[in-house]
A and B are shown apart, each in its own frame.
Chain A
Amino acid sequence: DTGVSQDPRHKITKRGQNVTFRCDPISEHNRLYWYRQTLGQGPEFLTYFQNEAQLEKSRLLSDRFSAERPKGSFSTLEIQRTEQGDSAMYLCASSADGEQFFGPGTRLTVL
């Protein structure tokens, strides 16, 4: 399967812990996006990479969130000192120059 993959699919953590998620985009897609989706809502944009450069960040991305795409391929999203309000589905998408293809998401539960 050459679609977008995300790991882990589920993560349960205690408040205050750090978590890191990984996204592997479709190969040769130069654009990579992170979104967050809470229950009953549509996905909300968090941040965007073109190759290894992080070009845009949403106001939703607080200082506790950091994203990287070191070699312009896979990306990681880290949340430090997690809070219960961080519980959500974190979606990654990639694109070449048009439609965005989404991964299955990582569901985060903060206890």
Chain B
Amino acid sequence: GEDVEQSLFLSVREGDSSVINCTYTDSSSTYLYWYKQEPGAGLQLLTYIFSNMDMKQDQRLTVLLNKKDKHLSLRIADTQTGDSAIYFCAEKYGGSQGNLIFGKGTKLSVKP
């Protein structure tokens, strides 16, 4: 079935760049998303990329999409302690009305 995989943990130092990786299986996905979840809070949409794009940049965030390998990454430049959270990759499942399939999330820890 459809699956989205992410590494579970990432630790970086404040000011460094963070790269969170994700692989997905559904080749008919139209959109791919990155959500951020802070403790006790809901999901905040960070950015998304359409499947016919290779890259999208939005301030400190850069999304790279390799459609051939079904690989998505999120780069956070100049990572801050406030970026500490769980980051979820999600694909918009092409075979549905648009429900999202999420990975298990990558917990990003930023050390001062």
Contact surface of A with B, Cβ cutoff 8 Å: 4, 31, 33, 35, 40-45, 48, 50, 55-56, 58, 91, 93, 95, 98-105
| Chain A, Cβ-Cβ closest to B88 | A42
User: Are B100 and A100 neighbours in the complex by a CB distance under 8 Å?
Assistant: yes
Q: Give how many B residues have a beta carbon under 8 Å from the other chain's beta carbons.
A: 22
Give complex CA distance A104, B96 in Å: 24
Are the C-beta atoms of A42 and B98 separated by less than 8 Å? no
CB atoms of A44 and B102 under 8 A apart? yes
B residues near A (Cβ < 8 Å) are: 4, 31, 33, 35, 41-45, 48, 88, 90, 96-105
CB distance from A32 to the nearest CB of B (A): 11
- Show 18 residue pairs from A and B whose CB-CB distance is below 8 angstroms, ordered by the A residue: A4-B42, A33-B100, A40-B104, A42-B88, A42-B102, A42-B103, A43-B43, A43-B100, A45-B101, A55-B97, A56-B96, A91-B42, A101-B45, A102-B42, A102-B44, A102-B45, A104-B41, A105-B42
